[in-house]
Amino acid sequence: MNLQQVKQRFGIIGNSAKLNYALETAMRVAPTELAVYIQGESGVGKESFSKIIHQLSARKHGPFIAINCGALPEGTINSELFGHEKGAFTGAVDTRKGYFETVNGGTLFLDEIGELPLETQSRLLRLLENGEFIRVGSSKVMKTDVRIITATNKELTGMVEAGKFREDLYYRLSTLPIKVPPLRERPGDIVLLFKKFAFDASEKYRTHELELTPDAENVLMNFRWPGNIRQLKNVAEQVAVLEHSDLLDAETMRKYLPSGSNNTLPALYQEAKSDSSFSERDIFYKVLIDLKSDVSELKKIVLGLIQNSQVDADFIEDNKSTIARVLNESNSEELVISHAEQDDDDHEEEHHYVIEDRDTVGLDENLSIEAKEEELIKKALLKNNGRRKKAAQDLGISERTLYRKIKQYGIED
C-alpha cells in the first residue's frame, strides 16, 4: 500500500512534506513490534496515526482500544489498566479484567501518557519489558501480548528533568518517535481541509455549499490554529450552518476566529498581501538587517565623537582595543593611538638620532616634554585671555583634557 492509498483509506487530507514524512514513518514501523511514541499538539490527529499503525500491522485482526490517560481517575487507574481481584478495595465486588488483559493480541493506544502517576509508570515499565503484570489486590503474575502506542502533547524530556516521568520508561516508550506537524507548519493544507469539513457539514445539515474569496483563504492560512484540525473542523461546521451567503469573504471569516495575541501569527505575516511570501525566516532576516543598520549608525556616531575630540582621552586609551574592534574601521587603531599620544607619556621604544648642527639647540635649554607641554598651555591660555575652550582648540585637545592638564601642572588662569 502506497502513501496515497493510505491517505484515501484513512481519510488523511494534505500533502505537506512534514505530514508525508510522518505518514511514511508510520507505514514503515507498522509491520514491526517496536514501541511507537507519537508527539504532537492537541488536535493534530495522533489517534489517527495509531489506527494506521494498527491496521497496517499483523495485529490488524486483533482488538484496538484508545485510552486517554488524563481522563482516568488516579485512584482507579491501576484497576482500569491492569484489572483487580474481588475485594481488592471498597467497591470491588467482582474480579475485573484490565485493558492490558482485554486487548491481548491487539494494540493499546495510550494518549496523554504524561498524565500517568509514577506508580502506574512503574507497572507499565515492567509490562513493556517482559509482558508481565499483576492485578490490583493479587499476587499472581499474568502475561499479555499487547503492542503499546503512546502519545502526548507535552514535552516528556522536560517532565523527566522535573522528576514527573520515569527516565527509563521514556527511553522504553520512545524507541521510534513520530512527530505529527501542527496546522501552522502545513499552511497549504488548511484551505483544503476547511473546504472538506464545510462540504461534509453542508451535506449533513442540508445547507448550501460555501466558496472562499482569496482574502478569506489568506485569513485561514495566517491563523495559528492552536486547536489544529479539531478547531478547524469546528469553525468550518459553524460557518456552514450559520452563514447564509454562498461566498465567504475575509471579514466574515474573522468573525468565527477567536481574537487574542496567542491565536494569531506575528503582525508582519498576518498583514502581508495575498501575493506576499513572508515566512518566519523572512521576519528573522528583516530584524537582523534592521539591527545591523542600527549598529552601523551607532558606529558612525562614536567615530564622529572620537574624531572631534569629544571623548575623554583616558577613556579612549583604556578601551583602545574594544573601540577598534567595535568600530571595525581601517583607521580606528591609528585614530585611537593619535589621541592617546596627545595626552599621555610616550612609551614607545627609545630611538637615537644624530643631530648634525648642534648650534640649533641650546645646551642649557629644558627639553622635558612636560615642561614644553606646560609652556604651550600657558601660551595658549594667555593668547586667548584665559578662555579654555579657545585654548583647547588651538592646542588640538579636548577642553576636558586641558582642564586635567591645568590641574596637573598647577597653572593659574
125 and 20 together in one domain: yes
pLDDT-derived band at 118 (thresholds 50, 70, 90) equals: very high
Same domain, 229 and 154: no
Q: What are the start-end ranges of the E strands in 226-335? A: 247-248
Minimum mean pLDDT range among 28-37, 196-205, 271-280, 287-296: 271-280
Average the pLDDT over each of 152-161, 241-250, 404-413 and give the range with the smallest value: 404-413
What whole-number distance in Å separates Cα of residue 118 and Cα of residue 186?
Answer: 36
- Select from 181, 202, 223 the last residue of a domain: 181
Can you give the pLDDT at residue 330? 42
**Cβ atoms of 113 and 38 closer than 8 Å:** no
Residue 351 lies in a domain: no
Instruction: Please indicate, yes or no, whether residues 293 and 146 belong to a single structural domain of this protein.
Output: no
> Which of 220, 238, 270 is the C-terminal boundary of a domain?
270
pLDDT of 247 above 60? yes
In a domain, 136, yes or no: yes
The region of weakest confidence among 87-101, 273-287, 394-408 is 273-287
Q: Residue 248: how many CA atoms within 13 Å on its side-chain side?
A: 28
User: Is the residue at 359 inside a domain?
Assistant: no
Per-residue pLDDT, 397: 87
Question: Within 13 Å, how many C-alpha atoms sit on residue 263's CB side?
Answer: 11
Q: Are residues 390 and 315 in the same domain?
A: no
Q: Are residues 30 and 158 in the same domain?
A: yes
Q: What is the mean pLDDT of residues 121-149?
A: 93
Same domain flag for 52 and 132: yes
Domain hosting residue 129, numbered range: 3-181
Q: Read off the pLDDT band of 280 (50, 70, 90).
A: low
The average pLDDT across 58-69 equals: 94
Interior/surface letters 99-125, b for 16+ CB within 10 angstroms, e for the rest: bbbebbebbbbbbbbbbbeeebbebbe
**Residues 188, 141: contact at Cβ < 8 Å?**
no
**Co-location of 245 and 136 in the same domain:** no
Average pLDDT, rounded, for the chain: 81
Do 7 and 145 fall into the same domain? yes
Instruction: Let me know if residue 127 belongs to a domain.
Output: yes
CA 200 to CA 195: how far, in whole Å?
Answer: 9
Q: What CATH number did the domain enclosing 224 receive?
A: 1.10.8.60
Please say which residue of 242, 270, 298 terminates a domain.
270
Residues 73, 136 share a domain: yes
- Same domain (yes/no): 328, 401: no
pLDDT at 320 (0 to 100): 66
Q: What pLDDT does 289 receive? A: 60
CB atoms within 10 A of CB 243: 18
- Residue 264 DSSP code: B
How many CA atoms lie less than 13 Å away from 359 in the CB half-sphere? 0
Percent of the chain with pLDDT over 90: 50
Residue 390 has pLDDT above 90, yes or no: no
Q: Is the domain of 314 the same as that of 334?
A: yes
Question: 327 pLDDT band (50/70/90 cuts)?
Answer: low
CATH number where 398 lies: 1.10.10
With beta carbons less than 8 A apart as the criterion, state whether 219 and 257 touch.
yes
Q: In this predicted structure, what is the pLDDT of residue 189?
A: 94
- Does residue 238 sit within a domain? yes
Residue whose C-alpha is closest to residue 19's, from 179, 250, 164, 130: 179
| Element at 28 (helix H, strand E) | helix 17-29
Whether 130 maps to a domain, the answer reads yes
Query: Is 360 domain-assigned?
Result: no
348 assigned to some structural domain:
no
Per the structure block, which three cell numbers stand in for 142?
Answer: 499474568
pTM of the model: 0.61
Whether residue 391 sits in one domain with residue 325: no
Q: Which residue has the higher pLDDT, 368 or 285?
A: 368
Q: Of 194, 82, 209, give the one whose Cα is nearest residue 136.
A: 82
3-class state of residue 366 by DSSP = coil
Domain count, the chain: 4
Residue 40: the pLDDT is 93
Say if residues 181 and 6 touch (Cβ distance below 8 Å): no
